Amino acid sequence: MREFAKSHKLDHVCYDIRGPVMDEANMMEAAGEKILKLNIGNPATFGFNAPDDVMQVMSSSLPLAQGYSDSHGIIAAREAIIRYDEYRGIKGVTPADIYTGNGVSELITMSMQGLLDSGDEVLVPSPDYPLWTASVTLAGGTAVHYVCDESADWNPDIEDIKKKITPNTKAIVIINPNNPTGAVYEKDLLMQIVEVARENGLIIFSDEIYDRLLMDDAVHTSIASLAGDDVFCITFSGLSKSHMSAGFRIGWMSLSGNKKAARGYIEGLNMLSSMRLCSNVPAQHMVATALDPASFGKKDPLLLPGGRIYDQREFIYNALNSIDGISAVKPKAAFYIFPKMDIKKFGITNDEQFVLDFLREKKILLVHGGGFHWGAPDHFRIVYLPDMDTLSASMQGLKEFLADYKQN
Ligand SMILES: Cc1ncc(COP(=O)(O)O)c(C=O)c1O
């Protein structure tokens, strides 16, 4: 029988959030086990609903949304995105500079496919949201990871960035606010990254999908607002997280700065955008309502004391730090935390094995730090969206498990 293998393009592509550990959890579930899942940032599955007004506008727009739209998206959505960009200080964005996508995910892949040739390098954070590394690799480029510094609230290490630039480096990716750390980058540091991009002729890709999920006094700065006219930036955002509507698949990217220098690349983006015809049209109709200027700068009550995300963040942060051998930096945004394990104490040399052992014994699913291209086997990620009972049971489980865990 003729057999069919995956293409060689996928040989080095890795997306472990939905990888082998999750496969094992699915098998356990199929066998009737109940698994507590702290592994995927999918708000709807934890009882978070999209706001009524955006749901309403999308369903009432269905009759208008039966055909393909312009490949960039409907004009009302793009104008709303431009207003939002202007509010964030990103200047000079025109409707032609906006591309709506089936989630930010599609645009990440598209933006890498349009840019990279074999041998091109892209600086990507470690830890990262792994789709970035996967997309660089799939596009034939090489992801070179720069370190984010846990002791500096997980801000990128600028010296490490500088050290990793070579003549082949074409771009730098930042994820701000960050998944998996929950960090919000300081303005001063963003200015230094712009300077590095300017000096080395790099494109800046900034994934800002969590920019409206800030807690405490965190202030988010879009790096494109600092970049001026001479550095080309692509800023990504969408409604999956801010409007708890991941299943509707709507995200966008905005091009700003030195578009002249990127003329050829933009031609490629237009080609790729046209090849997939357009993004999901009903979801595009949500954008203008979701980005109503009256909502700019207003915090969702879920992110304030007494709100579910805020309270769950407080709980998980305190619970983790009270476990012997675990420490965690407090996240300032999104709904992830990236705790550190004392690997000497637990004899851990393989973090994927650790999450697998924990899954098998306690039926609780986490993602190992290596899944985010973190270099040492000493971290894991928790999504703290599940309700307080689930989080509480999970933390109790982790405490019990680690009380006598020794991997080696
Ligand atoms: C940093 C980051 N970027 C992009 C995405 C993808 O979002 P979308 O649903 O818009 O494809 C995610 C999803 O978890 C994410 O965490």
What lies within 8 Å, CB to CB, of 344 at 6+ separation is none
SS3 310: helix
* Alpha helix stretches (DSSP H) within 2-155: 20-30, 52-60, 75-87, 103-113, 131-138
Structure tokens at 115: 């840019």
Q: Are 79 and 95 in contact (CB under 8 A)?
A: yes
SS (H, E, C) 223-258: HHHCCCCCCCEEEEEECCCCCCCHHHCCEEEEEECC
Q: If you measure from the C-alpha of residue 161 to the centroid of ligand 1, how many angstroms do you get, rounded to a whole number?
A: 23
Q: Is the CB of 283 under 6 A from ligand 1?
A: no
- Quote the longest CA-to-CA distance of the chain: 62
The protein residue with its alpha carbon nearest to ligand 1, atom 7, reads 104
Q: What is the distance between the alpha carbons of residues 132 and 115, in angstroms, rounded to a whole number?
A: 13
Looking from the CA of residue 175, the nearest atom of ligand 1 is 1
Q: What is the DSSP string of 311-372?
A: HHHHHHHHHHHTSTTEE-PPP-BTTEE--EE-HHHHT-S-HHHHHHHHHHHH-EE-EEGGGG
DSSP 260: T
Q: What is the distance between the alpha carbons of residues 224 and 69, in angstroms, rounded to a whole number?
A: 27
Q: What is the distance between the alpha carbons of residues 219 and 212, in angstroms, rounded to a whole number?
A: 10
**Which residues sit opposite 236 in a β-bridge?**
207, 253
Q: Are 190 and 223 in contact (CB under 8 A)?
A: yes
Q: What is the distance between the alpha carbons of residues 138 and 276, in angstroms, rounded to a whole number?
A: 18
Q: Is the CB of 207 under 6 A from ligand 1?
A: yes
Looking from the CA of residue 250, the nearest atom of ligand 1 is 10
Q: Are 319 and 327 in contact (CB under 8 A)?
A: no
pLDDT score for 20? 84
Q: Is the CB of 105 under 6 A from ligand 1?
A: yes
Q: What is the distance between the alpha carbons of residues 388 and 397, in angstroms, rounded to a whole number?
A: 14
Q: If you measure from the C-alpha of residue 182 to the centroid of ligand 1, how many angstroms do you get, rounded to a whole number?
A: 13
Looking from the CA of residue 105, the nearest atom of ligand 1 is 11
Structure tokens at 393: 């049971």
Q: If you measure from the C-alpha of residue 218 to the centroid of ligand 1, how many angstroms do you get, rounded to a whole number?
A: 20
pLDDT score for 19? 77
Per-residue pLDDT of the chain (408 residues; tens, 9 = 90+): 999 999 998 988 887 777 789 899 999 999 999 999 999 889 999 999 999 999 999 999 999 999 999 999 999 999 999 999 999 999 999 999 999 999 999 999 999 999 999 999 999 999 999 999 999 999 999 999 999 999 999 999 999 999 999 999 999 999 999 999 999 999 999 999 999 999 999 999 999 999 999 999 999 999 999 998 999 999 999 999 999 999 999 999 999 999 999 999 999 999 999 999 999 999 999 999 999 999 999 999 999 999 999 999 999 999 999 999 999 999 999 999 999 999 999 999 999 999 999 999 999 999 999 999 999 999 999 999 999 999 999 999 999 999 999 999
Q: If you measure from the C-alpha of residue 104 to the centroid of ligand 1, how many angstroms do you get, rounded to a whole number?
A: 6
Q: Which residues of 309-346 are buried (b: 16+ CB within 10 A; e: fewer)?
A: bbbbbeebbebbeebebbebbbbbbbbbbbbbbebeeb
Q: Is the CB of 141 under 6 A from ligand 1?
A: no
pLDDT score for 14? 80
